[in-house]
Chain A
């Protein structure tokens, strides 16, 4: 009996042990399988949440009006609430941070990482702030002198300076500090909100870009003025840009423009507005082709046919070209595009027009455009220098045009050219004193017209004795030219399709006007000496309050036919909750 009882106990023990082992192994197996499933569910929920974020970022930034949403509109929107995606659902909300601007409570240098301010009320717990043209990322808010420094009870901590292509700079006490940010929160669940097997919450701080700028005015001593037709403000300073004069600007969009100016003996002065800041084009930042020879010359004129085709011209036959090259948009030294017969003169103006013909050359794709450039007179006869770049040619070259109908020598310094079409361009400038043949005009004012065959001198309806500096055409029947002051006011001439006549500029100061640009018919800006800014509305010129007293040398306006681009956004921080 004792033996039988022992066997029974042994058998029961074996069953228990085997049972335990079996249960443990089965449990491990089930948990392992479940763990893998959890990993999959989590990863799926992560990607579902990310899908929601990406769609929200698109809605904030797109130029498609039908898809645009503001930060606040995202919350509760059908496209962002319980949206099925890849076996899960995402819901996105937007929280806008746009507190009242605060001020620096102490001057800071370009490396300060604790930024003391008067208040951080309403600011996000982390994100991006803007001081002047500098964007600064901060990691948290400080609220005591222990964190912010003696005498300061509010500050931004963990500041990373010069973010988003801006340049870290010193700022003065009381400088304004602003924030314009949207915090997006995306929750991804798998498979759905009522049966959650995987859940991920993602947050991004999206900083909305600087306001669009439709008008740019450039001037001496590194003067950048941006505006919106009626109000203008100074931009900068930009410490890393050349401390030289800016002479011309071409506006491509409300968030992109190019400006050119004098060199400083180191590099060519071409600047790019990227929607946030003006940046000097260099080889190191990739805006100038790495193997190009940079001409250390002054640049006087620039034109952009479109965002991928620009020409800049300047001193001593300087020709720079912006184009798509090997997949990148870069400026190159385009001296090789100038025919050897072209004299070494200073090129002042350039203008391009659609030639309606896809070019035979391939480097710029199928952009159908041709250009004219004008320069100082050349050769012993002081002949006018008109240069043509035939974009329909298989190997386009800037060539000297001899098709002009005027007295020679005429000593014309051609300052500007504006083309409406292949058979309608205008050039203006001035005629220098010299041995001008009898019967030829001796007045300084000079206007020439290209009719597709020949450049012909055209007289305005008054015999001015003034320099003209720039011409711009809105259409074949509406062109404007500006020049030195006359009769106590800046000089503006208008071409109405028949005749050049002086416009009433009684509202403008007694200052020379050096540049003019138009956004549409009867909508132009002229700029000149001592910060003069004149605005044309219809046929009336008015003097506009100027933020500068510098000599203003260039102006560019975005066409009224082009809408502002939407707010460009930056993802400044990203976290998973």
Chain B
């Protein structure tokens, strides 16, 4: 019986260690949620830039310029990258915006834009 109890204790301890590791994973999920929201925020900002600039003049992300507004700053531990491509499916009047987040959390979003209002 004593042996049994000792074995159960060892198994329980092992399980607790394993659960602890799992719990440690929970904050990483939260970081991914932050990353997704960051990506969407930048995506919305880029779509706004496109509306203001017009499709033809929309070639770069103002957040990646030297005069980036404060809103572009990423939270500590996150890195935001954006890519604007002015062709899609061989059509220069269609393009894509891609936003990727790396660092503490990761996320990648992409949408399509057209040369129209």
Contact = CB atoms under 8 A, between A and B. Distances in A.
Contact of A18 (B15, B109, B110): B15
Nearest to B50: A54
A11 B115 contact: no
Interface in A551-577: 568-571
A445 interface: no
Interface residues of B, number: 36
Contact of A47 (B23, B93, B111): B111
A312 B26 CA distance: 68
Interface stretch (A23-31, A97-105, A210-218, A480-488): A23-31
A43 B40 contact: yes
Contact of B115 (A21, A22, A51, A58): A58
Interface stretch (B29-37, B60-68, B71-79): B29-37
B23 A569 contact: no
B5 A7 contact: yes
Nearest to A32: B29
A44 interface: yes
Interface stretch (A61-69, A234-242, A392-400): A61-69
Given A28-B26, A47-B109, A57 B32 contact: no
Interface in B1-19: 1, 4-5, 8-9, 11-12, 15-16, 18-19
Nearest to A19: B15
A10 B5 CA distance: 9
Contact of A25 (B11, B22, B43): B22
> Could you say which of B25, B112, B117 has the most chain A C-beta atoms within 10 Å of its C-beta?
B112
A444 B110 CA distance: 70
A403 interface: no
Nearest to A17: B12
Contact of A14 (B12, B91, B94): B12
Interface in A471-523: none
A43 B109 contact: yes
A8 B110 CA distance: 59
B19 A26 contact: yes
Contacts of B5: 7, 10-11
Contacts of B18: 22
A64 B94 CA distance: 12
Contacts of A60: 116
Contacts of B117: 57, 61, 568-571
Given A4-B1, A7-B1, A33-B29, A55 B23 contact: no
Contacts, number: 105
A86 interface: yes
Contact of A57 (B16, B25, B116): B116
A370 B40 CA distance: 49
Given A40-B36, A62-B115, A568-B117, A86 B110 contact: yes
A47 B44 CA distance: 10
A55 B94 contact: yes
A21 B40 contact: no
Contacts of B11: 18
A51 B12 contact: no
Nearest to A30: B22
A55 B93 contact: no
B8 A14 contact: yes
> Could you say which of A4, A8, A86 has the most chain B C-beta atoms within 10 Å of its C-beta?
A86
A58 B114 contact: yes
Contacts of B1: 4, 7-8, 11
A60 B93 CA distance: 13
A21 B12 CA distance: 10
Nearest to A26: B22
Contact of A54 (B15, B22, B26, B111): B111
A356 B22 CA distance: 73
Nearest to B19: A25
Contact of A39 (B19, B36, B116): B36
A36 B91 CA distance: 35
A324 B48 CA distance: 23
A430 B73 CA distance: 67
A205 interface: no
B4 A11 contact: yes
Contacts of A7: 1, 5
A29 B115 CA distance: 44
Contact of A22 (B8, B15, B33, B94): B15
Contacts of B43: 47
A51 B111 contact: yes
B107 interface: yes
B70 to A, nearest CB: 22
A21 B22 CA distance: 13
A67 B90 CA distance: 12
Given A51-B112, A570-B117, A36 B32 contact: yes
Contacts of B22: 25-26, 29
15 contacts: A15-B8, A21-B16, A21-B19, A26-B19, A26-B22, A32-B26, A36-B32, A40-B32, A40-B107, A47-B109, A54-B111, A54-B113, A57-B114, A58-B114, A86-B110
Interface of A: 4, 7-8, 10-11, 14-15, 18, 21-22, 25-26, 28-29, 32-33, 35-36, 39-40, 43-44, 46-48, 50-52, 54-55, 57-62, 64, 67, 85-86, 568-571
Interface of B: 1, 4-5, 8-9, 11-12, 15-16, 18-19, 22-23, 25-26, 29, 32-33, 36, 39-40, 43, 91, 93-94, 96, 107, 109-117
Given A55-B94, A62-B93, 12 more contacts: A14-B9, A15-B8, A22-B18, A26-B22, A29-B22, A39-B33, A40-B36, A54-B114, A55-B112, A61-B116, A62-B115, A85-B112
